[in-house]
Amino acid sequence: MDSAKFPPESSPELPMINMWQENLVNQIDNGDTYEEMYPTIVEMATHLDVQSFENQMKLNKVLDAFTDDESSIQMKLLLHTIPRPVLRSIVMRMAAHDFWERDSENRQLLYDKEGPGAYLLTVSVLGRDGCTWSNAENQILIGHLQAYQTAIDAVEAKDIDPSVGDDEWTADEVEAYRIATEIDNALVRRDQDEASQHDEASQPSDSFGTEDSASTAPSHVGETREMPRFASSSASNKSRFVSKLITMLQMRHGPLDSVDVICKQSLSMVGNEDDMEKRWQNHHMIGTASLTNSNKLWALTASCLKYMHLEPNEIILPILKAWNVKQINLAEILLTVLAGSFVTVGGLNIEEPGTKSERKPPHEEDFDGCRLHVWKAKPWFHENLAHSYPITVRSVEAARELEDLPTAEQLLQMCENINKSRQDFLGADWIASQTRSGITAEIAKVEQAEQEAIAALGDPEDDLMSAFEDPEEMTMSHRSRS
């Protein structure tokens, strides 16, 4: 990967490297285990929590997810599923540059896009090999966003005080509103040029779904000036997210003597879904309604780039697969922290991660598919686990020789055969969760490996193995030991 050539140091090409990124990348490069990296990631989460508090943005679940015993076990498991080169690329904010070629060898380090999990979206400029824009272009982008913020504030002031007439707007406000209107219509015009089947009559109304989603209705200059498309739908301070985006882009600005250097770090956004591939459709920058349900800052950034005659390009990458319902939200939290994708840190996320409802989870078959894909189709999870917890190597090897997940009858028989003690049961249950056929022939091998592992295994590894299948069992185990 090209990102491997760059040290974790701030430069004109990599203007956004903070101390936590530097520490984590150094650990990756030094060969530290993922278990050893975890405290650094907790520090990154703490920093994100502090940033959100200072900026009056709600982040209640992030730090709890890293410090709660049960959630922390699941977080560590998810972390171990990420290949080391991909982890480094994400932390360096260079995923777009590393994965812009859709048929590159780098893509072999990704999971498939099917089923539940968390994904990373990056916005870059088409034709620049996954890179973004120069310092000079960054200043222009900031100027357009400042005009957009002025337009929002002007319309909001008029909404608050209807006695303010259009003729009372200043020349700067009128010009700002003109620019905002052009930005609102930039992608719509592009889509109309490229897809003539979309006409104005088919465009959705000016209603917003959630605060995180963008309306598709363009603004119009006239007697009634409508609120710009990407304003917040909150009751007041509707330009607050645009203001935070401006502040973040100002942090990206490099030295004055490097105005023409193209930045290799992209802006990113993290999401999660029961069906990742289906959710991706909301973020594609094609079609007049394509950004209707996407993050407003994502859509605004794409529209501003188009207004600047830079073609925005999205790269969407599946990073984490979930094999139980709790992991869907935990995966989003973990990836948000690793990517620094919250707007106060360096990305485009504006809402708290990990808040997706668990009331209607995916089918068990979907979770089983993810578990098999992580466990058998790709080697990274068991390699990373073995690196962090060497005592698990034999258990891992024994489990990978088996084929599929067990049927209920096979699992019950296996557990009856080797349930000599509570610890044996937990270890065997974890191994059994990875298999479906060929169990009888492998029982002796698995039992022997588990007995050897349990003899030297401490609580962290024991909890990790049991949590792979059932977080409820992990909690029960803690109680029984206490």
User: What pLDDT is recorded for position 291?
Assistant: 60
CA distance 432 to 414: 8
Point out the least confidently predicted range of 45-54, 131-140, 309-318, 407-416.
Answer: 407-416
pTM across the whole model: 0.77
Dihedral sign from CA coordinates of 107, 110, 116, 122: negative
Point out the least confidently predicted range of 3-7, 118-122, 319-323, 405-409.
Answer: 405-409
CA distance 421 to 416: 11
* Contact between 146 and 123 (Cβ < 8 Å): no
φ and ψ of 479, to 5 deg:
-65, -40
User: What pLDDT is recorded for position 359?
Assistant: 84
User: What pLDDT is recorded for position 276?
Assistant: 76
Dihedral sign from CA coordinates of 74, 78, 84, 88: negative
Q: What percent of the chain has pLDDT over 70?
A: 68
Strand order in the sheet with 312-321: 267-273, 117-125, 312-321
What SS3 state is found at 315? strand
Dihedral sign from CA coordinates of 287, 291, 297, 300: positive
467: left (phi over 0), alpha (psi -120 to 50) or beta: alpha
Q: Which residue has the higher pLDDT, 444 or 332?
A: 332
What SS3 state is found at 317? strand
Q: How far is CA 369 from CA 94, 188, 232, 405, in A?
A: 29, 38, 38, 10
Mean per-residue pLDDT over the chain, rounded: 77
Q: What is the DSSP letter of 377?
A: I
CA distance 16 to 132: 13
Instruction: Assess whether pLDDT exceeds 80 at residue 429.
Output: no
Burial class (CB in 10 A: 0-12, 13-18, 19+), 161: exposed
Q: State the helix-helix crossing angle for 459-469 and 471-481, rounded to 10 degrees.
A: 140
Exposure string for 174-211, b = 16+ CB within 10 A, e = fewer:
eebbebbbbbbbbbbebbbeeeeebeeeebeeeebeee
User: What pLDDT is recorded for position 213?
Assistant: 45
Average pLDDT over residues 111-140: 93
Write out pLDDT tens, residues 400-414.
555 554 444 443 444
Around Cβ 419, how many Cβ atoms within 10 Å?
Answer: 13
Write out pLDDT tens, residues 55-108.
777 777 888 898 888 898 899 999 999 999 999 999 999 999 999 998 889 999
Name which of 177, 237, 187, 185 is nearest 211 in CA terms: 237
User: What pLDDT is recorded for position 482?
Assistant: 46
Point out the least confidently predicted range of 111-115, 308-312, 394-398.
Answer: 394-398
Average pLDDT over residues 120-134: 94
Write out pLDDT tens, residues 239-287.
999 999 999 999 887 666 678 899 999 999 999 988 776 665 655 554 4
Report the amino acid identity of residue 74: Q
Confidence of residue 198 (pLDDT cuts 50, 70, 90): very low
User: What pLDDT is recorded for position 234?
Assistant: 87
Write out pLDDT tens, residues 11-24.
989 999 999 999 99
Instruction: Assess whether pLDDT exceeds 80 at residue 464.
Output: no
Average pLDDT over residues 361-389: 87
Q: What residues contact residue 95 under an 8 Å CB cut-off, 6+ apart?
A: 86, 89, 120, 122, 266, 268, 315, 317, 339
* Contact between 268 and 339 (Cβ < 8 Å): yes
